[in-house]
Amino acid sequence: MAYIEPAPLMDKENPFEAMMSRFQTASQILGLDEQIYNVLKSPARQAIVSLPITMDDGRIRVFEGYRVIHSTILGPSKGGIRFDMHVNLDEVKALAAWMTWKCAVVDIPYGGAKGGVCCNPREMSAGEIERLMRSYTLSMIDIFGPDKDIPAPDMGTGPREMAWLMDEYSRTQGMTVNAVVTGKPIVLGGSLGRTEATGRGVMVTAMSAMQKLKINPYNATCAVQGFGNVGSWAARLLAERGLKVVAISDLYGAYHNENGVDIEAAVKYRDENKGSLEGFKGAESMPGEEILTLPVDLLVPAATEDVITSSNADKIQAKLIVEGANGPTSSKADSIINSKGITVTPDILSNAGGVTVSYFEWVQNRLGYKWTAERVNRRSDRIMKDAFDNVYKTAQDYKVPLRIAAYMVAIDKVAKTYKYRGGF
């Protein structure tokens, strides 16, 4: 069947609509049974809870929390908890489905979920956030569980919040259950290698794609947008493998050096400068948006969603785009990029190193054993490489872009599992 270009959406497209448009296209090409399509479209379970919290000034504020389980057909559901002002049920539903596809594409035995609380953690004290996280955990006590639904950090939450969740859950069970959540501090059973896992997966995906495109990493140049966890680790690991990282950027500035930016120096500068690259002296400053259109071999958008759109896609000069961020490319930009012959490894494949090592954290917790960083890295590299090869082969077989191929691999796996299990 010929590849059908996804119908371009209007300018107001958000990444979740973009995901649905690609889901539809992949389902059409697979010839997915309409009944299974309808099953996959709808989340399995949605919980909305009210969380009354005593604030530091003694007043009680009520927050709304959500947990959406998109699918548990492949195993317990997995997905982060977001603390953010913009959290709403629709967004959580879309993000939960996204997790199903991400876990399926890297072939880890998890379904997809997502949770969130509409709040502004930047304006809350540690005590208020702790009470909110513990209350959220108690409200979700019949949903969470190491064999049922395993949360993780997302925007606005981190290891500290996961420790509170683990503790609160454990109290209700009368024993320590560290496998109920991932992204914990190392002392509580967090995994070595988790911090760099997503950036490392980006690197493995980029190296695999460059091999197919016959790009020699020692002659290749690269630009990385976003210099947080994903971007800085990806830049560092790509530089270690011989690529010349000629540009990096964050919210506060973009920096270009034709001879290659010293990534270690940039990381050190950022860490000593409250997380910002502003004023970095190892490269020349340039306008932030230009990082996407530099004449480089590899572009890694690792900042945020919707940065490659119909208004700049035409100017992109990279041969390869490896998506580190979630949803950096709009579906309208897809067709422009495809027509230019640029290869894109999609988010659900290239940033899945994080959820892969979260899965390893859960495996280690259940084994009651700790792996070395070397073992974690070796195993996650193999999963990422196998996933890339599988998606690449699907793209060749069906003559579709890698993005559609990744959705096809994921949807096919989930749909086949539904068919075998039946029970409708």
- Interaction site with ligand NAD (CB under 6 A): 198, 225-231, 249-251, 288, 302-304, 324-326, 351, 354
State the amino acid at position 90 in one-letter form. D
Question: Smallest distance from the beta carbon of 211 to ligand NAD, in angstroms?
Answer: 23
Q: Which is nearer to ligand NAD, 214 or 274 (CB)?
A: 274
Q: Which is nearer to ligand NAD, 170 or 312 (CB)?
A: 312
Helix (H, G, I), strand (E, B) or coil at 378: helix
How far, in Å, CA of 165 to CA of 138, rounded? 9
Q: Which of 78, 93, 102, 114 is catalytic?
A: 114
Q: Which is nearer to ligand NAD, 135 or 356 (CB)?
A: 356
Q: Which is nearer to ligand NAD, 158 or 170 (CB)?
A: 158
Other Cβ atoms closer than 10 A to 89: 16
Spatial contact of 333 and 344, defined as CB atoms under 8 Å apart: no
Phi, psi values for residue 116, rounded to 5°: -175, 160
Question: Smallest distance from the beta carbon of 56 to ligand NAD, in angstroms?
Answer: 26
Question: Smallest distance from the beta carbon of 263 to ligand NAD, in angstroms?
Answer: 13
Question: Smallest distance from the beta carbon of 313 to ligand NAD, in angstroms?
Answer: 16
Q: Which residue is nearest to ligand NAD (CB)?
A: 228
Q: Determine whether 393 is an active site residue.
A: no
How far, in Å, CA of 98 to CA of 47, rounded? 18
Burial class (CB in 10 A: 0-12, 13-18, 19+), 349: buried
Q: Which is nearer to ligand NAD, 300 or 415 (CB)?
A: 300
Question: Smallest distance from the beta carbon of 358 to ligand NAD, in angstroms?
Answer: 9
- Which of 143, 73, 140 has the alpha carbon at shortest distance from 101? 73
How far, in Å, CA of 311 to CA of 393, rounded? 31
* Residues making up the chain, counted from first to last: 424
How far, in Å, CA of 203 to CA of 306, rounded? 21
Active site residues: 114
